Amino acid sequence: MNCRSVTIAAAAAIVLSLTSVAAVRGQAPSVAVQPPAPPMAEDVFKNIQVLKGIPVDQFLGAMGIIAAATARGCSECHRQDGPADWTRYADDTPMKQVTRQMLLMTQEINRIHFGGRQVITCYSCHRGMHRPKVTPSLVALHAAPPDEPDDIVDPAPGAPPADQIFNMYLAAIGGAVRIAALTSYTGRGTYQAYDEDAVPLEVYARAPNQRLLVWHTSFGDYAMGYNGREGWIAASQAERPVPVEFLMGQELDGRRLEAELTFPTRITQALTAVRVGLRVSINDRDVQVVQGTTVGGTLVTLYFDMETGLLTRLMRYTDSPVGRIVTQYDYEDYRPVGGVRIPFKWTRTWLDGRSVFQLTDVQPNLTIPPARFARPAQ
């Protein structure tokens, strides 16, 4: 893991820890049903002058984007007294001051020239560099174009209807009858983050939308769960400052979608405002591109292999004031489980790096005790 990955991963860690602290604070002691209103960044942090009025998880997601867009680690703008020491982040530094001006400038550009739409972001100019380039890069001009389709998909004239693509996918993995008969599964395999060693992984999934992933690190268990209502990340304090972290907003909604798509019959209802874009090529395979929005407003793009019909990529986007926070899943190694082909391997790519989930052994339709998906204790 390089330094930047470490710092951005750390940002993600505090994003989630702080939101959970807030979640706990905002809750009435005994009722745990309604997700609490998220506190704003300026309520939780000490020295917020520009990025006000946004929830804490979005604020810290924005820090992740700023770091990625300008190729700066957290400690290049913030003073730190030691690893995972967050106490001095409120101190001002010259780089923070420049960044505030940049935030205001970017807002101004969008307001004055683009009617307030978010069309210019830090990344538009910086592209992962400290300072934007003035001269076109001949190397970049003549290099092979990156294998990355546009984030916003426009409907392509003559494209097949989304339902046709969904139905081809459902047929490719086993057909509606078999899919409906798969109501749960448990699996074992490995989880590998960045360039670290693979560790044992367990997966529990129950239709329609419950899913728990647990991997066993040298620090203890690391779990990501969604139980139909709440989503969380639980980890040892060696890895994250707070042991149980609840997700909110579009991040929670994105997690719900991932859980729903574990049992893909719901794919036809999972998204609204669905449109099919131009075919693109990913890893030398032609794919159909379907984009839509979840109930909670999360933008989602699904990529289906034209030849096999299989879902090979999912991208989901969470809004922030400095651009969309993006998460990518690449699915492969489809194998039958109870007559339904599911991906045994998926790769999660985020601003902080990449991790690979590989299943080796999956059992369909075992009884999973409901307690597996219970909201973890604090």
Q: Which residues contribute to the site for ligand HEC (CB under 6 A)?
A: 7-8, 10-11, 14, 45-51, 63-64, 66-67, 70, 72, 74, 76-78, 89-90, 95-96, 98-100, 102-103, 106, 120, 122, 124-126, 130-132, 322
Which residues, in sequence order, are CB contacts of 58 under 8 Å at separation 6+? 41, 249, 318, 319, 320, 321
C-alpha distance from residue 156 to each of 105, 271, 280, 287 (Å): 35, 18, 12, 13
- Provide the minimum distance between the beta carbon of 106 and ligand HEC in the complex, in angstroms, as a whole number: 4
Return the number of the residue (103 or 311) whose C-beta is nearest ligand HEC: 103
- Provide the minimum distance between the beta carbon of 232 and ligand HEC in the complex, in angstroms, as a whole number: 20
- Locate tokens 């109870």: which residue? 338
Return the number of the residue (66 or 290) whose C-beta is nearest ligand HEC: 66
Return the number of the residue (17 or 294) whose C-beta is nearest ligand HEC: 17
Return the number of the residue (125 or 306) whose C-beta is nearest ligand HEC: 125
* DSSP code, position 132: -
Return the number of the residue (49 or 360) whose C-beta is nearest ligand HEC: 49
- Provide the minimum distance between the beta carbon of 276 and ligand HEC in the complex, in angstroms, as a whole number: 32
- What is the token pair recorded at 339? 């007559």
Three state DSSP letters for 235-285? CCCCCCCCCEEECCHHHHHHHHHHHHHCCHHHHHHHCEEEEECCCEEECCE
Which residues, in sequence order, are CB contacts of 212 under 8 Å at separation 6+? 203, 204, 205, 223, 224, 225, 226, 372, 373
Return the number of the residue (67 or 290) whose C-beta is nearest ligand HEC: 67
- Provide the minimum distance between the beta carbon of 46 and ligand HEC in the complex, in angstroms, as a whole number: 4
- Provide the minimum distance between the beta carbon of 217 and ligand HEC in the complex, in angstroms, as a whole number: 21
- Provide the minimum distance between the beta carbon of 179 and ligand HEC in the complex, in angstroms, as a whole number: 40
